[in-house]
Amino acid sequence: MEERRENEEAYMVNIDELVSQMTLEQKAALCTGASAWTSTPVERLGIPEMVVADGPHGVRRQPDVHEMGAKSLPATAFPTYSCVAATWDVDLTCAMGEVLAEECIALNVDVLLGPGVNMKRSPLNGRNFEYFSEDPFLSGEMAAAIINGIQSKGVGASLKHYAANNQEFQRFSINVEVNERTLREIYLTAFEKAVKQAKPWTVMCSYNKVNGTFASENTRLLTEILKKEWGFEGLVVSDWGAVRDRVAALKGGLDWEMPGPQENRVKAVVEAVRSGTLAEAQLNESVRRILRIVFMARQTPKTGTFDADTHHALAQKIAAEGMVLLKNNGILPLVEPEHIAVIGRAAKEPHFQGGGSSHINPTRVAVPFTELKARAGNAEVTYAEGYPVDNTFSQGLIDGAVTLAISADVAVLYIALPAFKESEGYDRQDMDLTRQQIALIQAVGAVQPNTVVVLNNGAPVAMAAWIGSCAAVLEAYMMGQGGGAAIADVLFGRVNPSGKLAETFPIKLTDTPASINWPGEAGRVRYGEGLFIGYRYYDAKEMPVQFPFGYGLSYTSFAYSNARTSARTFKDIDGLTVSVDITNTGTRAGKEIVQVYVHDQQSSLVRPYKELKGFAKIELQPGETRTVSIPLNFRAFAFYHPEYGQWVTEDGKFDVLIGASSTDIRHSLEVTLQSTLKLPCVLDKESTMNEWMADPRGKFVLGPIYEQIEKQTHRVFGGQDHNGTREDHGDDLGMGNIMNMMSDMPLVSVLTFQKNMLTMPPEEIVDSLLRQAHSLIL
């Protein structure tokens, strides 16, 4: 309440007074859009409209707010988030957010609809190009950075799509079945980080159901977790068309339905309040949240123009930083070639963004062929189309490319995954390039050993069929309007590649963790892989991949030395700092991304082998050494425990892993954590004997009985009965195995087999022990 009053004073509006002056009809209307892109104004009370526009990597401002599919006003098309994430550069990402806000201000946009932080559960998701990573920590850090950049200029961001929207197949209705721990650790963590670290003005709900309830009506997600637990103070907006029941959505915590107008929705809300099925106090809360954002937006005048040249240069820089050099036998950087054969229609028709709601009308586009030729000096640069625009196969185009490649010093193939394979609205059916593109790479590589493949795609592609045919592979992603120039800079060494993968590139589709639960059936999809998506899965399976998470080559090399932690034993609330010295051991200036993973040596619940918990990107001159220090907090060592309903730490040893990628670990440091948590007792009638002994209170009250059980078991199964006569029961199993078996049985079941030594029924004993354990204070 205090913060809300401070905000109201800042824009000289008393929100509560405004709400009290509004009619019921005005309140209901405010909670639904006035058009496709605006909120409902109330002129009588001086409540202005608020304008929103699609993002997330550019401003898609419609000239007419009542239109949804018209050509948008010119704006800078930045690289999509798959490329931005590969920069691992939060400062650069924040700068991108600032520039996006400047364009919003010039184009009269109050809230930009982005970023998207959904996890890359499968490479087949057609919208993966809009999302950051398979890792929630990296996604959350990058999302917080861009939100902070946008909102630093007085423009709002909209964090989306909340939650578990990880496929396009049946995205309007699919029921996502996911357990609580997986939801918390994998699919909500990035949202949580962004909400707490950046305080976005709005959060957009997703279309799908989560465990049986539409996200737009999901009280658990929208109210209990987002608003109450995380302290979100902004408004919750629907994805466009995501609301099925307006009254149920308001009850669930969805404040603003889009698009509008929706006269029937407004009437439904009015009738629900009048009939008593919707409390007006609940409607008022949504009205307050909307008004707060409307008036915050009003504080930034939306006028002026933006510097298109400067913004284009930033888009080019981000593209260059996000490109990942996947393979290089030494052919790159190119050094004074005499003849370059440029092959592939993407060289002249750049594939720099994805299809759907994020499609930007760019201010200009750098054409890869033109930019390459401009940097090639006196070299002859020739061109062959290589592959058609559609999915047909043309041997003639391949033959022409081969003829050209034979006569050149180097062949550069620009290979773009076509829009008919990858876009918002539908998922990919496979991970492959087109049949023509694969055959083209193989044919050119067979006659030209200096073949370089440049990829434009939003998500991993299978490479096993053709990667042996080329000397180098540069992953350029959907590179934004400046990407054509960035590619040329990397190829000629003007920019030293420094991007690293924010997602694993598997060898084949059947290797991927979600493959047997994709895309679902009968209206539901089960997240059966649980916590184990991306590198977490490949670690657990010890499975080889094409390129691992965090991987990327450079034109220089880096050495890691003097790794240390600020403490060897530490309390969870204190955290610790990891430091390592990085030296550029090559001959070129370059940037390295240092990654810190945490491995729990022993835990009560299954955990992934390692998880990313920190990173830093630094630039070094040849021979230069710098110390990188990365803090690790409570959450770096915690996991979500569904029985306790909270994040928990446990006493024990952890390995802090410092690496250049998820598989290139340079140093491992053992530390010991001391948990400060005082957890409640969660034992119940079905708790196993192991669970009793793992709980401090349970162990205290059960301990004496446990000793008796152990002695009795030893007499019966381990050697002699109570008369001293040797018995044969269980000799083959062994005493240890018998106790292990019993330890995984509910305590009441164990006692049932010990009834000869009991003075009361097993159920009564367990009830008594539970009362003692739950009341005990340790």
Write out the catalytic residue numbers.
239
Determine the Cα–Cα distance for residues 91 and 540; give it in Å rounded to an integer: 33
Does residue 343 contact residue 440 with C-beta atoms inside 8 Å? yes
- Taking the C-alpha atoms of residue 228 and residue 694, their distance in angstroms, rounded to an integer, is 31
Token pair for 470: 């080329």
| HSE toward the beta carbon, residue 251, CA cutoff 13 A | 15
CA-based nearest residue to 551, from 514, 500, 594 = 500
Q: Which two tokens mark 705? A: 């009985």
Question: What 3-state class would DSSP assign to 729?
Answer: coil
**Cβ neighbours, 10 Å, residue 706:** 18
Whether omega for the bond prior to residue 368 falls within 30 degrees of 0, making it cis, is no
**Of 568, 541, 582, 540, residue with least CA distance to 655:** 568
Q: Which of 415, 413, 454 has its CA nearest to residue 433?
A: 415
Q: Which 8-state DSSP code applies to residue 585?
A: -
From the list 367, 405, 365, the residue with the least C-alpha distance to 383 is 405
Question: Side chain identity at 187, as an amino acid letter?
Answer: Y
Q: What is the dihedral of CA 223, 226, 231, 234, to 10 degrees?
A: -90
Task: Locate all alpha helices (DSSP H) within 168-279, ordered by sequence.
Answer: 180-182, 189-198, 219, 246-252, 263-275
| Other C-beta atoms lying within 10 Å of the C-beta of residue 386 | 29
Contacts of 3 (CB under 8 A, 6+ apart): 233
Copy the structure tokens of residue 620. 């070094």
What are the structure tokens assigned to 408, written together? 């050149």
Q: How far is CA 477 from CA 192, 230, 504, 676, 722, in A?
A: 27, 34, 14, 45, 75
Intra-chain end-to-end CA distance of the chain, in Å? 37
List, in sequence order, every residue forming a beta bridge with 577; answer none if it has no partner.
631
3-state secondary structure of 505: strand
**What pairs with residue 162 in β-bridges?**
205
- Mark 744-770 as b/e (b = at least 16 C-beta within 10 Å): eebbbebbeebeeeeeeebeebbeebb
Q: How far apart are CA 309 and CA 317, in angstroms?
A: 12
Largest CA distance in the chain: 102
Residue 261 and residue 29: Cα distance in Å, rounded? Answer: 9
Q: Which of 76, 31, 30, 33 is nearest to 57 (CA)?
A: 76
For residue 89, which of 498, 366, 425, 507 has the smallest C-alpha distance? 498
Q: Which two tokens stand for residue 95?
A: 């700068």
The answer to whether 55 touches 202, Cβ cutoff 8 Å, is: no
Q: Residue length, the chain?
A: 778
Phi, psi of 324 (to 5 degrees): -115, 120
Cis-peptide, bond into residue 161, ω within 30° of zero: yes
> Collapsing DSSP states into helix, strand and coil, what is residue 720?
strand
Residue 649 tokens read as 């730490």
